[in-house]
Chains A and B, each alone.
Chain A
Amino acid sequence: MASYSTNEFKAGLKVMLDSDPCAIIENEFVKPGKGQAFNRVKIRNLKTGRVIERTFKSGDSLEAADVVDVAMQYLYNDGDFRHFMVPDTFEQYQCNEKAVSDASKWLKDQDMCTVTLWNDSPLSVTPANFVELAIVETDPGVRGDTSGGGGKPATLETGAVVRVPLFVQQGEVIKVDTRTGEYISRVKE
């Protein structure tokens, strides 16, 4: 496997650190005019999601991690695993709950999402930035409210709970930003 020098570190680069696949978030070159050059690097551990800060001597290198993001379609949940498919090749992957983690509450059958593979096995799942899901439960709306000042909780078909404006009714389909978990708009059927 190739390796990368600190000079090549940039946001998004995938490297191996302490035997775990990691993604570089930020790389800062630090050098006192008369002193040793360092690279202060912010790295996300792709297995745990934790962000750590590490310092390297400039010129040191890390092994590249075989990590790729692949667009896949979510198929179904068999109780133990969730199954995904690459639409072009029909190749299927199964992910355990740990890899799916928080993404599970946004995953609806047939929806597209991103599966991150490490050495060809699923490491994590990222839902699309925006998803459209039906509301299965929410309190009846208040007549006349169109602004939705305070809002109310609504449970979606995938189990996620988001705050929606008061005028939004049970059974309606809404658009949600999965990165923030915020309601965006109603979707006209």
Chain B
Amino acid sequence: MQADWQPTCSIELLHLRAQILAEIRSFFLTRAVLEVETPLLSYSSGTDPQLDFFTTDYCSYPLQQTLYLQTSPEFAMKRLLAAGSGCIYQICKAFRNGESGRNHNPEFTMLEWYRVGFTLTQLMDEIAELIALLFKERASLNATQRINYQDLFFKYTGLDALLFNYDDYCAFALKSQSLDAIELCKTDHNAWLDFIFSHHIQPSLGKNALCMVYGYPACQSSLARINKDNSKVTDRVEIFINGIELGNGYYELTDAQEQNQRFDEEILVRQQNSRPVIVKNTHLIAALDAGLPECSGMAIGLDRLLMVLTSNKHIDDVIPFSLARS
């Protein structure tokens, strides 16, 4: 029986984590991608309708201000890109309130990088190279798979992911014994996609292989750019190994006006779902206004990467102290 003062992961894992961090840094050093640090605390946070944040109070009498712990370093890093930093990467902590489970700890380690001038396809090549490097001599991986979201969705469900037909979606829920979906998702296409993908598709993705899913439906675009040839899809990629979601990448949206509009829409959705109010990050809008270079960016959860590298089934097995022991 372990005592509460003891780490939840093994000492070997501390060594592995240190090696992985060193290899990632060397990978980007040889590619002339600059390591940066940005603040974990900010006066605003992302407006993502599905994320809850931590807040804290800055007290310097008479000034008292609420500050947010970042849910990702995305906004600050884009401001550096707009200021002319060139390609950058960062390894940092990110915080998401209420997320706790086998694959989630509310505080986790993230690798995020941006490549100026890269298309999404070029970014995907680089992701595959990085993953191959980190797995080399540690665990065997089958050939990398690249699958279009719409094809993938059709393969597993027979449904069109880009065209929401309520009756067809309900029929699938009946057939797959997911009656809960009908009540939970109602006529919200986004919720249906999340439900079906997480219950019926994701667990089968990337059997001992890196699986990259690209071409997400436009309604799930977040901060990605809408595809220039097909306005129904967005230039976004998600990567999976053994059914675990490891990261998310975009061909980044550079249009300040569209970004501003998406913020407003997300804030509205947050209000409708009675989630905490948030002020939008005007610094990011101003940076996009000044000009964000054409770029692609990727974020990978390093704790989950360590999980799949070591075949551990719980995030607590790869971090020294989970929230319960913090």
B124 to chain A, nearest CB (A): 17
Contacting residues of chain B (222-274) with chain A, CB-CB under 8 angstroms: 222, 238, 245, 247-248
B50 to chain A, nearest CB (A): 6
Interface string of A49-60 (1 = CB under 8 A from B): 000001111110
Q: A55-B178, A56-B180 are in contact. Are A32 and B245 (CB under 8 A)?
A: yes
A52 closest partner in B (C-beta): B177
Number of interface residues of B (CB under 8 A): 28
Contacting residues of chain B (161-188) with chain A, CB-CB under 8 angstroms: 178, 180-181, 184
Number of interface residues of A (CB under 8 A): 19
Contacting residues of chain A (1-58) with chain B, CB-CB under 8 angstroms: 7, 28-38, 40, 54-58
Bound form: Cα–Cα A22–B247 in Å:
36
Q: A7-B98, A28-B102, A55-B181 are in contact. Are A33 and B238 (CB under 8 A)?
A: yes
Q: Which of B102, B180, B181, B197 has the most chain A CB atoms closer than 10 A to its own CB? A: B180
Bound form: Cα–Cα A153–B100 in Å:
50
Collect the chain A residues with CB atoms within 8 Å of residue B245's CB: 32-33
Bound form: Cα–Cα A40–B50 in Å:
17
Q: A55-B184, A58-B98 are in contact. Are A35 and B199 (CB under 8 A)?
A: no
Bound form: Cα–Cα A31–B199 in Å:
10
Bound form: Cα–Cα A37–B220 in Å:
15
A109 to chain B, nearest CB (A): 39
A59 closest partner in B (C-beta): B98
B247 to chain A, nearest CB (A): 8
Residue A35 contacts which of B180, B220, B247 (CB distance < 8 angstroms)?
B220
Bound form: Cα–Cα A36–B222 in Å:
13
The reply on B48 being an interface residue by CB < 8 A is yes
Q: A29-B104, A55-B184 are in contact. Are A34 and B248 (CB under 8 A)?
A: yes
Residue B198 contacts which of A7, A35, A56, A59 (CB distance < 8 angstroms)?
A35
Do B180 and A31 touch (CB < 8 A)? no
The reply on B195 being an interface residue by CB < 8 A is yes
A85 to chain B, nearest CB (A): 36
The reply on B101 being an interface residue by CB < 8 A is yes
A58 closest partner in B (C-beta): B98
A25 to chain B, nearest CB (A): 15
Contacting residues of chain B (194-220) with chain A, CB-CB under 8 angstroms: 194-195, 197-199, 202, 220
Collect the chain B residues with CB atoms within 8 Å of residue A59's CB: 98
Collect the chain B residues with CB atoms within 8 Å of residue A28's CB: 101-102
The reply on B32 being an interface residue by CB < 8 A is no
Do A55 and B50 touch (CB < 8 A)? no
A29 closest partner in B (C-beta): B101
Do A38 and B98 touch (CB < 8 A)? no
Contacting residues of chain B (62-103) with chain A, CB-CB under 8 angstroms: 98-103
The reply on B56 being an interface residue by CB < 8 A is no
Bound form: Cα–Cα A121–B51 in Å:
44
A126 to chain B, nearest CB (A): 26
Collect the chain A residues with CB atoms within 8 Å of residue B181's CB: 55
Bound form: Cα–Cα A28–B184 in Å:
17
Bound form: Cα–Cα A55–B181 in Å:
8
A36 closest partner in B (C-beta): B194
The reply on B190 being an interface residue by CB < 8 A is yes
Interface string of A61-104 (1 = CB under 8 A from B): 00000000000000000000000000000000000000000000
Q: A29-B101, A29-B104, A56-B180 are in contact. Are A36 and B190 (CB under 8 A)?
A: yes
Q: A30-B198, A55-B195 are in contact. Are A37 and B50 (CB under 8 A)?
A: yes
Residues of A within 8 A of B (CB): 7, 28-38, 40, 54-59
A-B contact pairs, 30 of them (CB 8 A): A7-B100, A28-B102, A29-B99, A29-B100, A29-B101, A29-B103, A30-B101, A31-B50, A31-B99, A31-B101, A32-B197, A32-B202, A34-B50, A34-B248, A35-B50, A35-B190, A35-B197, A35-B198, A36-B50, A36-B195, A37-B50, A37-B98, A38-B184, A38-B198, A55-B180, A55-B184, A55-B195, A57-B184, A58-B98, A59-B98
Return the 7 tightest CB-CB contacts between A and B, nearest first: A29-B101, A35-B194, A36-B194, A55-B180, A30-B198, A33-B248, A34-B222
Residues of B within 8 A of A (CB): 48, 50, 98-104, 178, 180-181, 184, 190-191, 193-195, 197-199, 202, 220, 222, 238, 245, 247-248
